[in-house]
Structure 1
Amino acid sequence: MKRRILTPIVATAALVLTACSGSADGSSVEAEPVNDQVTTLSHPTIDGLEISFEQQPESLVMDCYAYSSLYEYGLEPDALFGYDCENPWVMGDADISGIEKIGQDGEINMEKLAELRPDAIIGQGDEDGWAWFDEDVNAQLMQVANFIPLPSGESVDENIDDTREVANFLGADTESAEIAQSDADYETAKQEFAEAAEGKDLSFMFASPTKEMLYTAVGFNQANLLEELGVTIVGPSAPESGSSWGSVAWEEASTYPADVILAESYDSENGFTTELWDNLPAIEAGQISGWSSKGAMTSRAYADWLSELAGQVESYDKVV
């Protein structure tokens, strides 16, 4: 089993210096006792990754994906960075207007990050750091503070539970009445969607269209969730290595007929358009809605999404 223990670099160095120090006459001096407030997060989805802190992390910096998932638990960062900070499909009703931005998209102001001296940095990524930074930038980032990757499990439900585990580690109240209500609403929304789809034999495509190519999300957790609730998922599968997205040239997009298309970050007022997209049966029938591949991993977010989608599915028909 791969095992990696991360501890704050400054604290580790200080401990080494203390352990090796001696008195003026050359005699050794016993090291100071180890801090008994050390707390460790055993990462819920990265096997063997344990992230240790000298004390309970309080000062946090997050990417916007992390904040969207931790906002419901009352956790607020001292600063934000990353992608999709203005995307309502990601951020929901999280208000970021009063939070300092120290980076945008794939860039970060490392000097500002160092000045903030956060206890932890949280975002999309893995044990090596943030997903969109190269090795050198991640090395600098992890000299400032330990990086906590957002959980990346094998189902929506697993990711909700694992994200809640991270929130609990960070001191959030994960057993509040509001959270319990969100869980209940999520289960109700699952049932609503299943009932709306029952007997309709609808096929869904999870899509992210671009001018060059149509990308699809067969096998994504969101697609698997709807499949479990009774619909068929269509689209090209992802390649064996590399991208997790499937892709198809526009000239061949019609070979994956779908009754309903869910477009990533769909905006009905400024939607994607191109002739071959507009000619797809689901688009012609107006049977299009939205989804987010990186939206908040919370019961509330998925309850709201499924409930709205269930209402739309009630009016959708078989068109292919």
Structure 2
Amino acid sequence: MLTKNGTKPNTARALAVASALAFFISACSAENGADTSTDGSSASGDTDTNVEGVTFQHPTIEGLNLEFEKQPEHLVMDCYAYSALEHLDITPDAVFGYDCDNPWVMGDTDISEVEQIGKDGEIDMEKLAQLRPDAVIGHGDADGWSWFDDDVNKQLTSVTTFIPLPDGDSIEENLDGTEKLGEFLGADLSDEKLSTAREDFKSAKEDFSKAVEGKELDFMLTSPTKEMLYTAVGFNHANFLEELGANIVGAQPPAEGNPWGKVAWEEASSYPADVILVEGLDEQQPFSAELWDSLPAVENDQLAGWSSKGAMTYYAFAKWLQGLAQQVKEFDKLH
């Protein structure tokens, strides 16, 4: 489970890997042939092919151009990346990272046949060195994986290329960016299942808009904990639903740092919501706390699930949004 800053949990215990990285550096040669350029050119997600190799222009990080001698074939991914790229028929040699067993992240993706070389913030650098991947793909930015310390990322990116997952300003930008990344890695975007997923996504958007039309329901996207209620105003998911006609409520995000709005439990009722979306909703073992259980949406079972780090594919979003639309049809105005 990720911490509430949405980026970097405290993984001091898990990231004592500097000595293993030294082994990785000695084991990997410069023949991986990857380079990173930030020349300020427009980021389009295009692939440039020439006698010197191929370049991936990152679709959401302007000016990030990742250069390879040839199309990357041997890949290591965090589970967020695999959940997004598996539907594009891109399979890694190994996986690592957070939420590998979280159905809200992995969906239908099965990792049982893929080697797992790390869990949460830990990674087996000796195994990574043996794999000698052409690229490591995961949640992060141009400097590396979100949950490695800066010095670890510097060493990692000195011997292989880190490809950050698309993380732009909207859901649809990221869905498109995922497909561009998949295409660079060899996916056929004309595949019938991908075309069907795009059409299903379009239909799901229309169905959700129809479901909320005229009902004036207030939606709150949350991640509840025993200590505090976190709300996701301003998140891409919240903005996406708002664009489709939902009214979003919750605490405003801070100006910088942790993007989650923080609500003390004593103040939770001051954000009246007809529908509450719970991150990683577990219907078998739902979250429970006295002040949470007294909220009208909880009392009336007007709850649905969502995931801030779910698979960024048209297929996954169509499935989630269509399910939400069906639920909303049965929900009532409570305030």
In the alignment, which residue of structure 2 is the partner of 1:31? none
Distance in 2, matches of 1:174 and 1:295, equals 21
Deviations 1:114-141 (A, max 9, x none): 1100111000000100001101221232
Structure 1 position 152 matched with structure 2 position 184: no
Q: What residue is the counterpart of 1:244 in the other structure?
A: 259
Deviation for aligned residue 1:78: 0.4
Distance in 2 (alpha carbons) for counterparts of 1:103 and 1:142: 18
Within the candidate set 143, 163, 168, 2:158 is matched to 143
Which residue of structure 1 aligns with residue 30 of structure 2? 10
- 1:246-285 alignment, distance < 5 Å: 246-285=261-300
| Equivalent residue runs for 1:156-235 within 5 Å | 156-235=171-250
The count of aligned residue pairs is 293
Q: Which runs of 5+ in 1 are unaligned?
A: 1-7, 15-34
Where has structure 1 moved over 4 Å in runs of 4 or more?
none
Using the aligned pairs only, state the percent identity. 60
In structure 2, the partner of 1:90 is 105
Is contact 1:9-1:143 (8 Å) kept? Answer: no
Q: Does the CA contact (< 8 Å) of 1:83 and 1:105 recur in 2?
A: yes
Q: 1:51 aligns with which of 51, 57, 66?
A: 66
SS at match of 1:311: helix
Contact 1:182 1:299 (C-alpha < 8 Å) held by counterparts: yes
Amino acid at match of 1:232: N
- Give the aligned partner of residue 304 of structure 1: 319
Aligned-partner Cα distance in 2 for 1:159–1:263: 22
**1:61-117 deviations in whole A, cap 9, x for unaligned?**
000000011011000100000000000010010010011111111111111111100
> Match for residue 301 of structure 2?
286
The amino acid of 1:142's aligned partner reads T
TM-score by length of 1: 0.89
Counterpart CA distance in 2 for 1:13 and 1:199 is 57
Question: Which of 99, 104, 108 is the aligned partner of 2:123?
Answer: 108
Residues 259-299 of structure 1 show CA distances to partners (whole Å, capped at 9, x for unaligned) of 00000010111111000100011000100010000111111
- Structure 2, unaligned runs of 5 or more: 1-27, 35-49
Q: What does 1:113-132 align with in structure 2 at a 5 Å threshold? A: 113-132=128-147
Query: Who wins on radius of gyration, i.e. which is larger?
Result: 1
1:143 CA drift (Å): 3.1
Say whether the 8 Å CA contact 2:33–2:68 is kept in structure 1.
no
| Paired AA for residue 44 in structure 1 | P
Whether the 8 Å contact between 1:218 and 1:234 is mirrored in structure 2 is yes
Question: Do the aligned partners of 2:170 and 2:240 also contact (CA within 8 Å) in 1?
Answer: yes
The one-letter code matched in structure 1 to 2:90 is L
> In 2, Cα distance between the equivalents of 1:37 and 1:94?
35
Contact conserved, 1:118 with 1:144, CA < 8 A, in 2? no
Q: Is the 8 A contact 2:212 2:245 kept in 1?
A: yes
